Amino acid sequence: MAASKSGDGDKMRVELELVRQLASLLDETNLTEIEVQDGDRAVRVARQGAPVMAAAAPAPVAGAVAAAPAAAAPVPTLAEHPGTVKSPMVGTAYLSPEPGAANYVTEGATVKEGDTLLIVEAMKVMNPIVAPKAGRVKAILVANEQPVEYDQPLVIVE
């Protein structure tokens, strides 16, 4: 399946397996939208109600203004949620201490300040990501063994 880039007639390949993986990640994390960018390509998968929609478009060019849909109120991003725990580094997220073991935490679990939420492995070093405060785990935003970026939202603790 290919989609045309706007204006220049070049073709952009949409990797259906990537779209399927992103849609699956939406289901696993209860997110409503996810977008990934690779160079000048971007793939956005969003859920509105029950159906899952996939769209592919070139990444915005500096100086380009995109029309935003009218919204009743701005929706805060995960990064803006006051209980969002973000990755302090680039690495791989592990939800349990070892393969086959129970996850450190589950959605809905109560945690104390300092409890391990997950591990981010970077350069063969296992770095525990701990709860910054006591509360309830509202959402786990990453899958086990998922690569994560610096400052990426990992967990929401309320």
Q: Per residue in 5-39, pLDDT tens?
A: 444 445 556 677 777 777 777 677 667 777 777 66
Each residue's pLDDT tens digit, 41-83: 777 777 665 444 444 445 455 554 444 455 555 556 666 778 8
Q: Can you name the CATH fold of 81-157?
A: OB fold (Dihydrolipoamide Acetyltransferase, E2P) (2.40.50)
Output the six-digit token pair for 63. Answer: 């100086």
What stretch(es) of the chain map to CATH 2.40.50.100? 81-157
